């Protein structure tokens, strides 16, 4: 009997499937459709009961057939690209704080490895016109979507950098600056015009050039007009601009 040999049986089954692929697919579709939901539910329950066994089998098969596994994964990703993007976005939105904290810890522990990876990636983009154009387009789209937010963040980091270069004592975070803005009722400390996160500028009540610090207690929100007029002078907080 030829079927006593498992290899012969496997080869025969493969040839039969190749010769009758369309007929078997039509038969499966015709007979599976009335019971499709029940069959899917049954398979989900069965997989949940045997998850460890199936994961071990999948891992063993992937290690034994790396090329076939990679081609299968690549084809699956191409077929389900929109589904992957939507799932990834939803997951990141839901777990943004956890992901950011995990990435910060990883970068801190593997800074040399990360720098090497960033340099390799930058060189690859720089040497490829297609990737360079794609990166520029992505940066432009991101900037247009987050223009107001980026301007506010740039203003914050510029103020921090100027104080550091001037050798001022103290530092503050973006949350501490927003708390100071809220403390002043989201208004200019000098002319009392209404401000928001994007229109408020960071001003030091006692200028750094006159010995002021960069601690949050020395920060006041000011409109751009008052901040320019004040310069390196000291104004009373209650004084109108």
Same domain membership, residue 216 and residue 177: yes
User: Are residue 117 and residue 175 in the same domain, yes or no?
Assistant: no
97 and 135 share one domain: yes
Is residue 8 assigned to a domain?
yes
Per-residue pLDDT of the chain (241 residues; tens, 9 = 90+): 455 677 788 788 888 888 888 888 887 777 666 667 777 788 889 989 999 999 999 999 999 999 999 999 999 999 999 999 999 999 999 998 899 899 999 999 999 999 999 999 999 988 999 999 999 999 888 888 877 777 667 777 888 888 888 888 888 888 888 899 899 999 999 989 998 888 888 899 898 888 889 899 999 999 888 988 888 888 877 544 4
Alpha carbon of 211 to those of 118, 120, 155, 234: distances in Å? 40, 44, 22, 11
Tokens of 37: 């939901």
Residue 156, domain member (yes or no): no
Is 155 a member of any domain?
Answer: no
d(CA 104, CA 188): 35
Task: Tell me the residue range of the domain where 54 lies.
Answer: 2-79
- 160 lies in a domain? no
Same domain? 106 vs 38 = no
Tell me if 18 is assigned to some domain: yes
* Residue 152 maps to a domain: no
Asked if residues 9 and 3 have their Cβ atoms less than 8 Å apart, the reply is yes
Q: Are residues 127 and 99 in the same domain?
A: yes
Q: Is 154 a member of any domain?
A: no
The answer on 72 and 7 residing in a single domain is yes
Same domain, 94 and 72: no
CA angle 175, 177, 182 (to 5 degrees): 95
179 falls within a domain: yes
Q: Check residue 238 and give its pLDDT.
A: 59
Q: How crowded is residue 161: how many other Cβ atoms within 10 Å of its Cβ?
A: 10
């Amino acid at each position: 009997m030829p079927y006593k040999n498992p290899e012969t049986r496997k080869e025969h089954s493969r040839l039969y499937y190749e010769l009758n692929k369309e007929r078997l697919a039509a038969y499966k579709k015709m007979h599976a459709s009335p019971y499709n939901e029940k069959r899917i539910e049954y398979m989900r329950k069965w997989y949940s009961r045997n998850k460890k066994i199936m994961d071990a089998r999948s891992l063993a098969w992937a290690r034994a057939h790396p090329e076939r596994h990679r081609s299968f994964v690549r084809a699956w990703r191409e077929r389900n690209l929109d589904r992957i993007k939507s799932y990834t976005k939803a997951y990141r939105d839901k777990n943004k704080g956890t992901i950011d904290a995990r990435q910060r810890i990883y970068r801190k522990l593997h800074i040399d490895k990360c720098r090497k990876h960033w340099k390799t990636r930058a060189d690859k983009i720089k040497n490829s016109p297609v990737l360079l154009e794609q990166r520029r387009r992505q940066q432009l789209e991101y900037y247009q979507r987050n223009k107001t937010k980026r301007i506010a963040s740039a203003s914050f980091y510029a103020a921090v950098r100027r104080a550091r270069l001037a050798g001022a004592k103290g530092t503050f975070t973006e949350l501490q600056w927003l708390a100071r803005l809220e403390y002043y009722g989201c208004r200019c400390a000098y002319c009392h015009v209404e401000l928001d996160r994007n229109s408020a500028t960071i001003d030091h009540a006692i200028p750094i050039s006159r010995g002021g610090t960069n601690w949050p207690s020395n920060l006041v929100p000011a409109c751009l007009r008052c901040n320019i007029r004040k310069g390196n002078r000291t104004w009373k907080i209650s004084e109108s601009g």
